[in-house]
Amino acid sequence: MEIASADLADLAAGATLLGSGGGGDTVSAAILVRRVLERYGPVRLVAPSELDPDDWVITVAAIGAITVMLERLPGGDEFVTAVRTLERWLGVRASAVQGMEAAGFNALIPVAVAAWLDLPLVDADGMGRAFPRLDQTVFTLSEVPAAPAVLVDPSGDTVIIGSGDNAAVERLARAALPALGAWAASALYPMRAGQVERAALTGSFSRAIRLGRMLRTAQRTRARAGLSAEGGEILFSGAVLQVRQRTPYGLGVATLEHTRDRERTLRIELADEFLLALDDGSIVGCVPDLISLVDTRSWQPVSADRLTPGRHVDVLRLPAPARWHEPAGRALAGPAAFGLYLPEGM
């Protein structure tokens, strides 16, 4: 299988849905990748089993502030520099790259990196959705270290985090980001193909493309059936009454009034992503599952930072990969990791 420029619209749409309200801009990312693929040709998308188990696979992502990325656009070299630097540090050559977060901007940029490096892209990632922290991966659950991790800004300035557990890498990277200009190209989680097969979520990019195809069909035809085929459902349709964005000190909140039953209210807790949905007080969706909002009329995804009162939206829920529902997964990326303390068993 391969990813060609004709697949990018689907990949971008699916990536936005998987962003669960976060994950960053996919429009300019799709333009970037399209240019790269038009120049270098399609990228080969491989299953980890297609590689030699001893082959090195390097994980790539942009890390940091998405609003900043809309302005300080990628130069391109920073991603290649990040991978090459990590290879040099380890004294290995990568045989393939994979995604860390197959959602939002980070579902698209690995395709360009694979093309730039003339390497295949492994159809795998570490999150299966968007999460805010780089240690919120199934790699962490499988004890694959994020370090050594490389961060590169567009000027080529480079930070190498040589060691540390994954939470420490996250902490150190976060501390370095302001000095790097708020976002950086990153190469991290180097692992063998055999480890990818055991540790990673597989089928990530093909799932994003499939979801995107479903979403775009729904946008054109108003057919909503494809959603349930992906295990998703529409939780609520309504108008946004009020939005309080996240602050440095606490979560944001949005309240919605149901379209047909005005007494019925949905409350959404949000940070960079949508985290929790309460329908008249009952939990109907909760991280690690994905809560995504789409415009009622156009079915264009609405990101958390663009949610405004008066918008009419459909609230969708998509299941997270099963590993996020295991105890270790919930501890790392469940409600409590976002400051939401729910009763046992929820």
Partner 1 sequence: MTRIERTLRIGIDVGGTNTDAVLMDGTAVLAEVKTSTTDDVTSGIVAALRGLASAREFAPGQIQAVMIGTTHFTNAIVEASRLTETAVIRLALPATRALPPMVDWPDRLRLAIGDHGYLCHGGHEFDGRVIAPIDPEEIKKVAADLHAKGVRSVAISSVFSPVSAEFEQLAADVLRAELPEVHISLSHEIGRIGLLERENATIINACLRDLADGIVDAFGTALQTVGIDAPLFLSQNDGTLMDVEYTRRYPVATFASGPTNSMRGAAFLSGLADCAVVDIGGTTTDVGVLARGFPRESATEVDLGGVRSNFRMPDVLSVGIGGGSRVRGTAVGPDSVGYELTRRALVFGGDTLTATDLAVAGGLAEIGDPGLVAHLDRSAVRATLARIARDVAEIVDRMRTSAAPLPVVVVGGGSILLPDELPGFPDVRRPDHFAVANAIGAAIAQVGGEVDRIFAIGVLTREEVLEHAKAEALDKAVAAGARPESAQIVEVDEVPIAYLPGNAVRIRVKAVGELEVARA
Q: Single out the residue of 54, 220, 247, 343 in contact with partner 1 (rule: CB under 8 A).
A: 247
Choose which of 298, 325, 336, 342 interacts with partner 1 (CB under 8 A): 298
Cα gap 74→280, rounded to integer Å: 43
Calpha distance 319→100 (Å, rounded): 18
Q: Which of residues 47-66 bind partner 1 (CB under 8 A)?
A: 64-66
Q: What's the CA gap between 269 and 245, in Å, rounded?
A: 10
Nearest to partner 1 of 50, 305 (CB atom): 305
Regarding 35 and contact with partner 1 (CB under 8 A), the answer is yes
The enclosing H or E element of 88 equals helix 77-90
Binding residue for partner 1, selected from 220, 260, 263, 281, defined by CB under 8 A = 260
Burial track 142-167 (b if 16+ CB lie within 10 A, e otherwise): eebbbbbbbbbbbeeebbbbeebebe
The residue with tokens 């380890």 is 90
- Site map for partner 1, 99-128, x if CB under 8 A? -------------x----------------
Q: Does 31 bind partner 1 (CB under 8 A)?
A: yes
Residue where the block lists tokens 């990536």 = 15
Query: Cβ of residue 297: shortest distance to partner 1, in angstroms?
Result: 6
258 token code pair: 């149901």
How far is residue 57's CA from residue 47's CA, in Å, rounded to a whole number? 12
Residue pair 59/187 in contact (Cβ under 8 Å)? The answer is yes
Asked whether position 223 contacts partner 1 by CB under 8 A, the answer is no
Contacts with partner 1: how many residues (CB under 8 A)?
55
Residue ranges in contact with partner 1 by CB under 8 A: 22, 24, 27-28, 31-32, 35-36, 64-68, 70-77, 112, 132, 154-156, 174, 177-178, 181-183, 238-239, 245-249, 259-260, 272, 295-298, 300, 302, 304-306, 308, 310-312
